[in-house]
Amino acid sequence: MKAPMSTAKAEDTRKRILQAALGLFQTRGFDDTTMREIAQAAGVATGAAYYYFASKEAMVMAFYELASREMQPGIAEALAERGSLEEHLRRLIETKLRYFEPNRVLLGALLRHATDPRHPLSPFSQETRAIREADIEAFALALTASETRVPKDLAGPLPRLLWMFQLALIFFWITDHSAAQVRTHKLLERSVRLVANLIKLAGLPLMRPLRKTVLDLIEIVETP
Amino acid sequence: MKAPMSTAKAEDTRKRILQAALGLFQTRGFDDTTMREIAQAAGVATGAAYYYFASKEAMVMAFYELASREMQPGIAEALAERGSLEEHLRRLIETKLRYFEPNRVLLGALLRHATDPRHPLSPFSQETRAIREADIEAFALALTASETRVPKDLAGPLPRLLWMFQLALIFFWITDHSAAQVRTHKLLERSVRLVANLIKLAGLPLMRPLRKTVLDLIEIVETP
DNA sequence: CTCTGTATTTGAACATGTTCAAAACATCAA
DNA sequence: TTGATGTTTTGAACATGTTCAAATACAGAG
């Protein structure tokens, strides 16, 4: 039931509701914010929220979509400079974390359903496909921008693999309670270096059997 | 609010409630089963369920604990025979899947909160620690039983790593809609072989730098 | 047996995400 | 302006997980 937002006024109402929701989520947390509070803060009736958003969680999704769109220029910029794959990956992921930073904890509410690909809000769902593919494209760009030599057979799945690597990092980040999430940033730095090195290694003739094995596994996982 | 179950009658009531719940979960699914239905099926008032179980999900947890205890002999048996690490791992994980099979989908309800280590039902939570450690112990046993040569520095974290590998497989299994979950079994077979081979490779002198790097990452992740 | 305190059980009340029928509003053709 | 038609808004009603004060059952002391 995506809202049609034909008129400017409707669009405005939608924005007001979303803004009220995000504000409350940030100050009181996702779970402790009620739909009635959101509606009241936006100056509308409870039901209005459901005219524009399918559910409470869909509001977090709307935030995610918004943020994803907004950070596109930042990402393009991060990938524009020359540099190694390691640098590109680190800049790409750091850019994302920076954008999400004010709503770090909130993201956890979204990723609750990560493990169920049937759930509309799962990062693996049909519904989030468009945004996911755009995301993966950024990693493909990081590869070409850094002029990394990638074995032919690995080139196809690699962007998606990097995206999943990033997703894992984001998971860690969300529940990282260290000050300023230093643990995540340390992990990011080291793991990105490892990943970049592994990709280089993967091209060695010696590595061919291992690479084939891994690709075999990937195919099992990705073939529906 | 763990129930004290001092008397045999209370114990019986608890059992009846749990049985009613699991029966309904299996036929109607977790989400479509209401607490009122469960209470009614158990011949008890709605509130009684909460006297014995902290929440609806805690019932799934109770099932998990029960199953874990019941499968101990089966696991011991699977690890008793001689065999390679690959064989031991495969048997160990297959044994678990077999035990969980009738409630495969139900497990999904438990693992919903996997990504939040603060949630009591997360496999990483304080509350599930005892059962998790016992689980990990089984993998330590698989290593010793197969007389696998493991580098000193890897020996400590390895059982936990294998446990996480298994957890990932279980996740895949839960949402595997292929007939009889053939995809999971294929994946299990191949990935276990890969893992066993990687452990062998990890001991080579050539691999020392890579191993150190990985151990470094693990330490960042595991140090709270 | 009766009394007393504890364990168990009850069912109504509560909180909150969600649905829905009706009302209010907007647009535009005649 | 008026009526028709579609869009937006309302607020009560609903479903369901959970809490809680009160009622009941029960074990053991005297």
pLDDT reported for residue B112? 87
CB distance B216 to A190 below 8 Å: yes
Distance from CA of A4 to the nearest CA of B (A): 31
Strand D CB shell (< 7 Å): A 3-7, 9-10, 13, 43-48, 50-51; B 7, 9, 31, 33-36, 46-47, 50, 54-57
pLDDT reported for residue A11? 87
Cβ of B150 near strand C (distance < 7 A): no
CA pair distance B89, A90, nearest whole angstrom: 35
Is A194's CB within 8 Å of B171's CB? no
Answer yes or no: is pLDDT of B103 > 70.
yes
Answer yes or no: is pLDDT of A217 > 50.
yes
Answer yes or no: is pLDDT of A139 > 50.
yes
Mean pLDDT of chain B: 93
Residue B165 CA distance to nucleotide D12 C1' (Å): 51
Q: Nearest-CA neighbor of A88 among A148, A132, A165? A: A148
Q: Is B3 left (phi over 0), alpha (psi -120 to 50) or beta?
A: beta
Mean pLDDT of chain A: 94
pLDDT reported for residue B202? 95
Answer yes or no: is pLDDT of B120 > 90.
no
CB distance B59 to B22 below 8 Å: yes
Residue A57 CA distance to nucleotide D11 C1' (Å): 22
CA pair distance B58, B176, nearest whole angstrom: 24
Cβ of A56 near strand C (distance < 7 A): yes
Q: Once rounded to an integer, what is the mean pLDDT over residues A18-25?
A: 98
pLDDT band at residue B210 using 50, 70 and 90 as cut-offs:
very high
CA pair distance B7, A190, nearest whole angstrom: 56
Cβ of A33 near strand C (distance < 7 A): yes
Give this prediction's pTM. Answer: 0.92
Answer yes or no: is pLDDT of A71 > 70.
yes
pLDDT digits (tens, 9 = 90+) for A177-196: 999 999 999 999 999 999 99
Is B116's CB within 8 Å of A114's CB? no
pLDDT band at residue B1 using 50, 70 and 90 as cut-offs:
very low
**B194-198: Cβ within 8 A, 24+ apart:** B194/A213, B194/A214, B194/A217, B195/B89, B195/B162, B195/B165, B196/B84, B196/B85, B196/B86, B196/B89
pLDDT reported for residue B24? 98
pLDDT band at residue A6 using 50, 70 and 90 as cut-offs:
low
> In which residue are the tokens 């990560």 written?
A114
CB atoms within 10 A of CB A149: 10
SS (H, E, C) chain A: CCCCCCCHHHHHHHHHHHHHHHHHHHHHCCCCCCHHHHHHHHCCCHHHHHHHCCCHHHHHHHHHHHHHHHCHHHHHHHHHCCCCHHHHHHHHHHHHHHHHHHHHHHHHHHHHHCCCCCCCCCCCCCCCHHHHHHHHHHHHHHHHHCCCCCCHHHHCCHHHHHHHHHHHHHHHHHCCCCHHHHHHHHHHHHHHHHHHHHHHHHCCHHHHHHHHHHHHHHHHHHCC
CB distance A49 to A41 below 8 Å: no
Cβ of B35 near strand C (distance < 7 A): no
pLDDT digits (tens, 9 = 90+) for B173-193: 999 999 999 999 999 999 999
Q: Could you tell me the two tokens for B59?
A: 């019932």
Cβ of B175 near strand C (distance < 7 A): no
Backbone angles phi, psi at A181, to 5 degrees: 55, 45
pLDDT reported for residue B113? 86
Chain A residues close to B191, C-beta within 8 Å: 217
Q: Nearest-CA neighbor of B118 among A61, A115, A105? A: A105
Q: Could you tell me the two tokens for B100?
A: 């969980």
The residue of chain A nearest to residue B210, with distances taken between CA atoms, is: A194
CA pair distance B110, B121, nearest whole angstrom: 7
CA pair distance B94, B185, nearest whole angstrom: 8
Is B112's CB within 8 Å of A115's CB? yes
Q: Once rounded to an integer, what is the mean pLDDT over residues A158-164?
A: 98
CA pair distance A28, A22, nearest whole angstrom: 10
Chain B residues close to A108, C-beta within 8 Å: 115-116
Distance from CA of B8 to the nearest CA of A (A): 39
Report chain A residues touching chain B, CB-CB < 8 A. 108, 111-118, 171-172, 174-175, 183, 186-187, 190-191, 194, 213-214, 216-217, 220-221, 223
Q: Once rounded to an integer, what is the mean pLDDT over residues A42-59?
A: 97
Answer yes or no: is pLDDT of B26 > 50.
yes
pLDDT reported for residue A118? 87
Poorest-pLDDT segment among A16-20, A24-28, B4-8, B182-186: B4-8
Answer yes or no: is pLDDT of A81 > 60.
yes
Residue B2 CA distance to nucleotide C2 C1' (Å): 33
Cβ of B44 near strand C (distance < 7 A): yes
Mutate to test the interface with B, among A177, A217, A219, A222 (most CBs of B within 10 A): A217
Q: Once rounded to an integer, what is the mean pLDDT over residues A14-36?
A: 97
pLDDT band at residue B6 using 50, 70 and 90 as cut-offs:
low
